[in-house]
């Protein structure tokens, strides 16, 4: 595509925008106005945010981290924390703490439910449903947004009251902190109870082992062991050490299992069992439960508790919760299995130790027994110290009451509304109006299937284009003495429209052989300007020195007699029925070399009259007297007359009104002409507005001055030239 083609495309777009300028302006004004009205009537809504830090933490309640170990480095950990923040539990705690059950924004102004006349159970269910609606409304205004690539999150709440937005955001964070603290404290309490019980048992073991050792020493008067017995003692010591390790493993597994059982019995803490919290399948089930609860709340709010969807969702929730409980029991059973394995291992080591004791009896029954008793005392004391140390660590951890959540910035009442964002809305409306206005104009132009340019004729109609004709109807001509006229070629021969008709005449002459003398001027629809075109073409041919006859064969709505101001009583229809001769109907005009035959009386059956054999004879008579015969007929799609007439004329010229006649109608009309094999020499584009646009120009000269007329017509005229 060269520069000229690009420039033409740009000017086509500019012309489209100019043509639909009021649509563009209207769209822009409506868009900006609607946005401005929305900004005025919309009640402002404020958003307050609390910035918190959720640190990676593994609370070290006991050294082997069996009570409350969480993999906080995983993405699942943070997703879990965000879901806890957005849970209905936290929402319920905040609403309860701030007393928002009857807060207008959350209840949509409905207030407390009317329970008058209902039973206690029905009232309770209605109250629960109303509370669920308030919680759902709360969560719709509540938002937790993590800051990417950090451990920081923004906890926000939207409200029409800036103070309430800040209060709720801070209260939600505090409720979350309280939840984490409560969970830790309950876990610490459970762990401390298990450790105290084990310490008491271990203390009894120490006392028993010391008593046995003392009694044995007293009985056998043992003071020290012989050196030769050291090897056996070392073996026993090694197995005793292994037994200590096995007991540690067993105690560890026992502690985990007993803590899990205690939390499982408590019910509320079952989900806080470390192995349960780290179980991926249980996490997915809990997320599914949260989604179902949210759907249950929304559906129950819309349809009530007895709706089939509510019942179905309730059943799904019970099923998911049952799966969660089953999975938790499976986890606890797995912990029980680990404990059983550790216990069997401990028993096996004890058995092995007994066997070694029996083998060592040959080396000295008393020495071995003494060593065993002494080792029991040592082992029991060592285990006692370990358990005591763990209990102190657990007590310190529980007393500190710290969490891995820190508040970085508390929410403060905002001063600027979160929405509507008035300036942004106006700017977006302006941008949208400026962008979509031209888009709307292009859409209108695209949906407009009318013929508007020569390109449309060449692309869709595939017939020759002979040139444009300007829209001059109703304009005053200087050379016509200020009178409005349609015969512009006669009254103002140096005007742009007159030059356009002469250009069309020239195109017709050069496109026709000498033997082609009869020309039918028609159109697809009425009011496309065929009669005015045929009249002015006849005038230009006569002005060129050619004997010309203008014949009105429009027996439907004839107008040539009005254009030339001649009588209609005798015309071509009278000739066809034999009421008048050729000389009786020919009327001479003020234009030299131009005669007119009006239509005559309008017959009741024009199509049958035009199908008579006498038309050919009359045409031969006309050809013997005139060099050119121009015929005006009805529109093709309004009657069959022009199709009949086209069979006995040499050429057919079609007039298309710019911007009004659709391509489909013109194609239908052309198809009818092609069906009878009419000689369609081309088309002219009529009613081109010469006063719009300034992209092309056409210059002409008058007697006293030269003028420049600009517009689309000039462009089309030059393209034709």
* 428-487 pLDDT tens trace: 889 988 888 888 877 777 777 778 788 888 888 888 999 999 877 544 444 444 333 689
Q: Does 565 fall in a domain? A: yes
- Round to whole Å and give the CA distance between 515 and 364: 149
* Residues 379-437: tens digit of each pLDDT: 888 887 887 777 777 666 655 566 788 898 998 999 888 878 778 888 988 998 888 88
In contact, 409 and 51? CB cutoff 8 Å: yes
Q: Are residues 372 and 291 in the same domain?
A: yes
Indicate whether 10 and 151 sit together in one domain.
no
pLDDT tens across 572-583, in order? 988 888 888 888
pLDDT at 629 (0 to 100): 95
In a domain, 364, yes or no: yes
Whether residues 442 and 504 share a domain: the answer is no
The owner of tokens 């701030």 is 98
Distance CA 278, CA 258 (A): 18
Place of tokens 């439960």: 289
Selection from 20-34, 253-267, 290-304, 347-361 with the highest mean pLDDT: 20-34
Task: Report whether pLDDT(59) > 60.
Answer: no
Residue 84 within any structural domain of the chain: yes
Q: Which tokens belong to 589? A: 């005009």
Q: What is the pLDDT of residues 276-296, one digit of tens each?
A: 677 777 778 778 877 878 787
In the β-sheet with 465-470, what is the strand arrangement from edge to edge? 465-470, 680-688, 651-657, 518-523, 628-632, 548-552, 594-597, 587-588
Terminal C-alpha separation, the chain: 22
pLDDT at 702: 38
In a domain, 698, yes or no: no
Considering the domain architecture, whether residues 164 and 83 belong to the same structural domain is answered as: yes
Q: Which residue has the higher pLDDT, 589 or 365?
A: 589
Across the range 114-132, mean pLDDT stands at 73
Higher pLDDT, 74 or 608: 608
pLDDT at residue 413 in the model: 92
- Identify the top-confidence range among 227-231, 357-361, 605-609: 605-609
Position 598 scores a pLDDT of: 94
Write down the mean pLDDT value for the chain: 79
Q: Are residues 77 and 16 in the same domain?
A: no
- pLDDT of 632 higher than 80: yes
Q: Kindly indicate the confidence band of residue 49, based on its pLDDT and cuts at 50, 70 and 90.
A: very high
Residue 454 lies in a domain: no
Backbone angles phi, psi at 48, to 5 degrees: -115, 140
**Would residue 220 count as lying in a domain?**
yes
Angle at CA of residue 403, ends 397 and 407, nearest 5°: 150
Q: For residues 630 and 37, what is the distance between their CA atoms, to the nearest angstrom?
A: 62
453 domain-assigned: no
Q: How confident is the model at residue 195 (pLDDT cuts 50, 70, 90)?
A: confident
322-342: b (≥16 Cβ within 10 Å) or e = eebeeebeebbeebbebbeeb
- According to DSSP, residue 374 is labeled H
Q: What percent of the chain has pLDDT over 70?
A: 81
- The encoded tokens of residue 114 equal 């009317």
Name the residue range of residue 525's domain: 466-692
> What pLDDT is stored for residue 684 in this prediction?
94
Q: Which tokens hold the place of 113?
A: 């439910």
pLDDT reported for residue 698: 38
DSSP E strands in 471-567: the ranges are 518-523, 548-552
Q: What is the pTM of this model?
A: 0.47
Same domain, 401 and 426: no
Q: Give yes or no for residue 62 having a pLDDT over 60.
A: no
Render 5-41 in DSSP notation, one character per residue. Answer: HHHHHHHHHHHHHHHTHHHHHHHHHHHHHHHHHHHHH
Check pLDDT > 50 for residue 64. no
472 with 590, same domain: the answer is yes
H or E element that contains 694: none
Residues 574, 623 within the same domain = yes
**Distance set, CA 504 to CA 176, 209, 507, 549, 631 (Å):** 87, 130, 5, 17, 16
- Residue 597: pLDDT above 50? yes
> Do both 251 and 327 map to the same domain?
yes
Give the residue from 717, 721, 646, 710 showing the smallest Cα distance to 685.
717
Q: What CA–CA distances, in Å, run from 462 to 134, 457, 510, 577, 663?
A: 69, 6, 19, 39, 11
Task: State whether 72 and 31 are in the same domain.
Answer: no
pLDDT digits (tens, 9 = 90+) for 539-576: 999 999 999 999 999 988 999 999 999 998 889 988 88
Task: Determine, yes or no, domain membership for 576.
Answer: yes
Domain count, the chain: 3
pLDDT at 231 > cutoff 70: no
Residues 547 and 676 in one domain: yes
Helices (H), 626-695: 641-645, 663-675
The Cα 27–Cα 35 span in angstroms is 12
Output the CA torsion sign for 305, 306, 312, 317: positive
Percent of the chain surpassing pLDDT 90 = 23
Rounded Cα distance between 519 and 542, Å, is 14
Residue 229 pLDDT:
57
Judge if 441 and 482 occupy the same domain.
no
SS3 for 150-195 is CCEEEEEEEECCHHHHHHHHHHHHHHHHHHHHHHHHHHHHHHHHHH
Q: Report the CATH number at residue 580.
A: 3.40.50.300
DSSP at 414: -
Report d(CA 654, CA 672) in Å as an integer. 12
Tell me the chain's radius of gyration from C-alpha atoms: 52
525, two tokens: 């629809």
């Amino acid at each position: 595509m060269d520069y000229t083609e690009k420039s033409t495309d740009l000017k086509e777009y500019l012309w489209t925008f100019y043509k639909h300028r009021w649509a563009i302006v209207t769209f822009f004004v409506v868009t900006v106005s609607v946005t401005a009205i929305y900004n005025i009537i919309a009640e402002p809504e404020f958003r307050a945010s609390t910035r918190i830090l959720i640190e990676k933490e593994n609370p070290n309640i006991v050294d082997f981290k069996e009570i409350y170990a969480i993999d906080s480095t995983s993405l699942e950990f943070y997703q879990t924390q965000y879901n806890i923040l957005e849970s209905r539990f936290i929402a319920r705690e905040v609403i309860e703490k701030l007393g928002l059950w009857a807060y207008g924004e959350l209840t949509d102004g409905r207030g407390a439910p009317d329970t008058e006349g209902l039973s206690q159970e029905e009232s309770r269910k209605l109250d629960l449903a109303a509370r669920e609606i308030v919680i759902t409304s709360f969560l719709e205004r509540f938002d937790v947004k993590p800051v990417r690539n950090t451990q920081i999150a923004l906890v926000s709440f939207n409200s029409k009251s800036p103070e309430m937005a800040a209060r709720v955001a801070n209260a939600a964070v505090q409720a979350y902190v309280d939840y984490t603290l409560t969970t830790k404290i309950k876990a610490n309490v459970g762990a401390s109870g298990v450790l105290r019980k084990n310490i008491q048992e271990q203390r009894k073991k120490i006392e028993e082992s010391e008593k046995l050792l003392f009694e044995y020493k007293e009985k056998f008067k043992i003071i020290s062991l012989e050196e030769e017995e050291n090897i056996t003692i070392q073996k026993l010591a090694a197995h005793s050490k292994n037994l200590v390790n096995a007991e540690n493993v067993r105690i560890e597994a026992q502690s985990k299992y007993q803590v899990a059982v205690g939390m499982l019995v408590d019910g509320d803490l079952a989900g806080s069992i470390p192995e349960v919290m780290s179980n991926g399948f249980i996490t997915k089930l809990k997320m599914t439960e949260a989604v179902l609860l949210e759907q249950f709340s929304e559906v129950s709010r819309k349809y009530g508790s007895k709706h089939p969807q509510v019942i179905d969702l309730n059943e799904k929730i019970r099923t998911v919760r049952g799966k969660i409980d089953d999975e938790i029991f499976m986890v606890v059973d797995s912990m029980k299995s680990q404990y059983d394995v550790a216990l069997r291992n401990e028993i096996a080591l004890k058995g092995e130790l007994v066997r070694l004791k029996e083998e060592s009896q040959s080396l000295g029954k008393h020495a071995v027994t003494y060593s065993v008793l002494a080792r029991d005392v040592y082992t029991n004391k060592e285990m006692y110290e370990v358990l005591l140390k763990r209990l102190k660590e657990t007590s310190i951890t529980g007393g500190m009451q710290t969490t891995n959540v820190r508040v970085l910035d508390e929410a403060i009442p905002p001063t600027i509304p979160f929405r509507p964002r008035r300036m942004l809305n106006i700017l977006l409306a302006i941008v949208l109006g400026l962008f979509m206005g031209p888009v709307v104009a292009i859409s209108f132009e695209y949906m407009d299937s009318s013929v508007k340019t020569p390109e449309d004729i060449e692309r869709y109609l595939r017939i020759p284009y002979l040139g444009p004709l300007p829209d001059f109807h109703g304009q005053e001509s200087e050379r016509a003495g200020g009178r409005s006229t349609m015969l512009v070629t006669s009254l103002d021969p140096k005007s742009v429209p007159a030059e356009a008709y002469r250009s069309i005449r020239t195109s017709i002459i050069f496109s026709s052989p000498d033997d082609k003398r009869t020309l039918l001027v028609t159109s697809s629809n009425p009011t496309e300007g065929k009669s005015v075109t045929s009249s002015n073409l006849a005038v230009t041919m006569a002005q060129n020195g050619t004997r010309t006859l203008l014949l009105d064969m429009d027996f439907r709505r004839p107008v040539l007699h009005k254009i030339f101001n001649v009588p209609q009583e005798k015309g071509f229809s009278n000739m066809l029925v034999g009421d008048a001769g050729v000389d009786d109907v020919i009327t001479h005009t003020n234009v030299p070399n131009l005669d007119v035959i009006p239509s005559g009386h309008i017959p009741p059956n024009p199509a049958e009259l035009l199908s008579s054999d006498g038309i050919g004879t009359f045409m031969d008579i006309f050809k013997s007297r005139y060099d050119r015969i121009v015929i005006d007929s009805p529109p093709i799609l309004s009657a069959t007359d022009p199709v009949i007439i086209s069979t006995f004329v040499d050429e057919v010229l079609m007039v298309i009104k710019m911007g009004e006649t659709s391509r489909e109608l013109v194609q239908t009309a052309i198809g009818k002409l092609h069906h009878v094999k009419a000689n369609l020499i081309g088309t002219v584009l009529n009613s081109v507005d010469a006063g719009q646009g300034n992209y092309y120009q056409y210059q002409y000269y008058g007697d006293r001055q030269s003028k420049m007329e600009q517009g689309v017509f000039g462009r089309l005229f030059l393209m034709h030239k």
